[in-house]
Structures are given as structure tokens and as C-alpha cells.
Amino acid sequence: MRQAIINRETNETNIALNLNIDGCGSFEGTSGIGFFDHMLNTLAVHSGFDITLSTQGDLSVDGHHTVEDIGIVLGRAFAKVLGDKKGIRRFGESYIPMDEVLARTVIDISGRPFLVFNAEFRNERIGEYDACLTKEFFRAFAFNAGITLHTEILYGENSHHMTEALFKSLAHSLKKAVVKTEEEMSAKGLLI
């Protein structure tokens, strides 16, 4: 079983996360932000990962620190689970439609973190969630997981649909990239 537990405590948040990438697609716990919990559940269900989360955050300020720090912790857990990254497919891609929206995500679990994020949200808020935090989560996750992540909305209008399509597309890309393989996935013989 490929599993890791990461704890991170700062003056702004206290987060414990358990990640099992060979799970059955379950999410337990809460970030304290309803819509973001919906996105974390979506990520878990569509990737097949099990995520258990315990969070205390300074939500009286806003959701930024909590969302970003969960991205950091999830990224670190993902990197720890994969270790030297040997024996995985490495690349993953996914197109996800959600009503009027089409999202695309392409990833490389390369050890070289990078983010290209192309999405403009028409609504600033989705419930108690600031739509701009989607990019912050994706950045924190990509840089702490050590992955190259390109994600975009090809077209669409509804910010809820756009955000959910991005999370589903990320999930399906990750699910493909972590598949075990006997093939050598780097001409260097090493993913860094």
C-alpha cells in the first residue's frame, strides 16, 4: 500500500493528512470550508485516493491559509508516497466536461515542479469559498508534490462547474500517472 501521513503546524493552521493512493476513493474530515470539502471529496473519489484530513485554520481571517496549507500538506504526502518515483507511468492527462465547461489537465510527475493555470472565474465566491483559491491550491500541491501541472478551462461560464471540472481533471490525470509499470519512464534513469 502506498500511503503517507503528514502533519504541519504553523501560526495560521494545524493540519494532519493521511493519503493512500491505492485506496477506494474516500474523503474523511473537513477543511472548515464547505465547497472546498466538496472539491477534496471530488478529488478523492475520481482519483481513487483515500484522504483523511484534520484541520484547524484561521478561517476568521479568510480561507487562504487553510486552502493553501492543505495543498502543501497533500503535495508533501503525495511526494512521500511516491519516493523516488520509480515504477510509475509518470504522465497523466484528462479532459473533463461538466455541463457547459470543458477542463483539461496534463501532468508529469517529474520532480520538477511547475504550474500553468489558465482559468478565469466569473464569480469571486462559490459559497464561502473564494474562487481564486483554486489556483493557490493547485500551485501549493504541484510545488510540494514535485509535479509539472498544466491545467485549464477550455471554455465555460459557471465558476462552480469550472472549479469542479478542474479538480476532476486533476484527479483523473493523477490516477493515470501513478499506475505501476515495468517500463523505464526516464531516459536519465532518474526522475528529479
CATH number at residue 8: 3.30.230.40
73 assigned to some structural domain? yes
The residue among 74, 78, 71, 102 whose CA lies nearest residue 166 is: 102
pLDDT of the residue at 119: 98
Domain assignment present for residue 9? The answer is: yes
Strands, sheet with 27-30, edge to edge from the N-terminal-most edge strand: 3-9, 13-20, 50-57, 27-30
Q: In whole angstroms, what separates CA 137 from the centre of its chain?
A: 7
User: CA-to-CA distance for 174 and 109, rounded, in angstroms?
Assistant: 9
Question: Would you state the pLDDT for residue 182?
Answer: 81
Is 132 within the bounds of a domain? yes
What is the domain extent for residue 80? 3-177
Give the separation between CA 105 and CA 150, rounded to whole angstroms. 6
Whether 188 maps to a domain, the answer reads no
Helix (H), strand (E) at residue 30: strand 27-30
How many structural domains are present in the chain? Answer: 1
Nearest to 16 by CA among 63, 58, 69, 64: 69
Specify if 184 maps to a domain: no
Q: Of all residues in the chain, what percent are helix, strand and coil, respectively (each to 5)?
A: 35, 30, 35
* Tens-place pLDDT, residues 70-118: 999 999 999 999 999 999 999 999 999 999 999 999 999 999 999 999 9
Asked if residue 40 belongs to a domain, the reply is yes
Quick one: cell of 132?
481564486
In-domain check, residue 191: no
pLDDT in tens, 34-51: 999 999 999 999 999 999
Whether 15 is covered by a domain: the verdict is: yes
Average pLDDT of the chain is 95
